[in-house]
A = this chain, B = another copy of it.
């Protein structure tokens, strides 16, 4: 069935592109450079028009600044980079749903009325949440800068 859930893909494609785009923009912003959609899509290996939609979301959520017109592009204020959590990017693109939703899709699932996997998954989800909230854009950008990690292929 080739489903694209957690085991296959931790994030939606939109999220993947959004995270990588934000990292690249942060990296360039540290160098005082503004980057165009075209450059971003090329660097992170993503479809340009689709990436544009995602950047619009990041802009509307005040994660990146967009500048229209010639010599325009995207940037992030340097002083903000270290304070932007991975969780914020994910929330901007996928919505703030880390706190809600049942692992098995029950409409009503709580401590009082749990689904069969409620407690077991709560632990994993909590760990993911903590990780997203304790990871910021700065450290991810520094990883790229130092050559410790990569944005494509």
Contact = CB atoms under 8 A, between A and B. Distances in A.
A104 interface: yes
Given A116-B23, A124-B127, A128-B124, A3 B94 contact: yes
B123 A131 contact: yes
A47 interface: no
B108 A153 contact: yes
Contact of A5 (B2, B12, B114): B12
Contacts of A94: 1-3, 5, 7-8
Given A16-B104, A105-B16, A114-B150, A125 B10 contact: yes
Nearest to A114: B149
A115 to B, nearest CB: 6
Contacts of A7: 90, 94-95, 97-98, 101, 128
Interface in A87-135: 90, 93-95, 97-98, 101, 103-108, 113-118, 120-121, 123-125, 127-128, 131, 135
A28 interface: no
B19 A117 contact: yes
A93 B3 contact: yes
Interface string A28-49: 0000000000000000000000
A67 interface: no
Contact of A106 (B95, B116, B140, B153): B153
Closest 3 CB pairs of A and B: A3-B12, A116-B140, A16-B105
